[in-house]
Amino acid sequence: MLMSARLFKTAAPVEFMPFTLPNQWELPGLQAEAGFAPAPEPRSEDDAVGSGPESRLVSEVIIQQARAEAAQLSAEAAQLVAEARARVAQIEQQARESGLAEARTAFQLEVNAAADELRQQLATTLDELAGLRSVIAAQLEAEMVRLALEIARKVVQREVTVDPDIPIALARLALQRFHRTDAKVRLHPDDYEYVNRHQAALNAQSAIQLIADPSVGRGGCIVQTERGEIDARLESQFANIERGIL
């Protein structure tokens, strides 16, 4: 109907002639005798373009259908966009979760490796400490022995300065090992004076020669004979005691 309306609109306008006489061909009798059908009644311009109620109703229906289809297409397009965005968000979330899981796994592996290394180091340290404990105990024991000997040495040195008979007692014990043998007894110069005055206290059964020797400490002596020598110095005796204990 719309196409016919366009055709009528483009047709040439009909001239209006109110007082013209009818043509012979326009009379009904002549048209019938000549074998022509009667000409249709002219239609108005409004009827030609389809401006009636039915035409407007059809136009409105077409417009409403077009709008409904456009709305449906828009809704479908919006749904597709929403689904695409949701899928993208889901993929991003999965990627993040996958990345976080891989990061956690890698971090856990690193922590486990570091923990294993620390455990190994701790075990090695404990083993070293176990061996070091015995070493420390031995060192402490040795230090205690040395400390005790140093204390004893101090006490003996003090006693030597107080009791001058100590070198006489040591020399007498040394001379007893060389029975009836001539001997030389080396003494500290301070001890030499006292022992020389009390030489009879040595109970020697042979000739004895007393010699003042600064290399001999107070309280001790060195007895020399043809059969050997006895080092009865206090420092030598303490050294022998320390070697025997340690």
For the stretch 101-150, pLDDT in tens is 888 888 888 888 888 888 888 888 888 777 777 788 878 888 888 888 88
Q: Averaging pLDDT over each range in 10-14, 32-36, 189-193, which range is the top one? A: 189-193
Compute the radius of gyration of the chain from its Cα atoms: 71
Of the candidates 231, 232, 221, 225, the residue with the CA atom closest to the CA atom of residue 181:
225
CA dihedral 80, 83, 88, 94 (to 10 degrees): -160
Q: How confident is the model at residue 212 (pLDDT cuts 50, 70, 90)?
A: very high
Of the candidates 133, 123, 135, 141, the residue with the CA atom closest to the CA atom of residue 246:
141
Q: Please tell me the predicted confidence (pLDDT) of residue 159.
A: 84
Of the candidates 220, 227, 162, the residue with the CA atom closest to the CA atom of residue 191:
220
Q: Can you say whether the dihedral through the CA atoms of 156, 161, 165, 171 is positive or negative?
A: positive
Q: Please tell me the predicted confidence (pLDDT) of residue 145.
A: 81
Strand-by-strand arrangement of the 183-187 sheet: 208-212, 183-187, 221-225, 228-231
Q: How confident is the model at residue 238 (pLDDT cuts 50, 70, 90)?
A: confident
| pLDDT(186) > 90 | yes
Q: Please tell me the predicted confidence (pLDDT) of residue 16.
A: 43
| pLDDT(21) > 60 | no
For the stretch 42-58, pLDDT in tens is 454 444 445 566 777 87
Of the candidates 174, 159, 166, the residue with the CA atom closest to the CA atom of residue 194:
166
CA distance 234 to 218: 8
pTM over 0.75: no
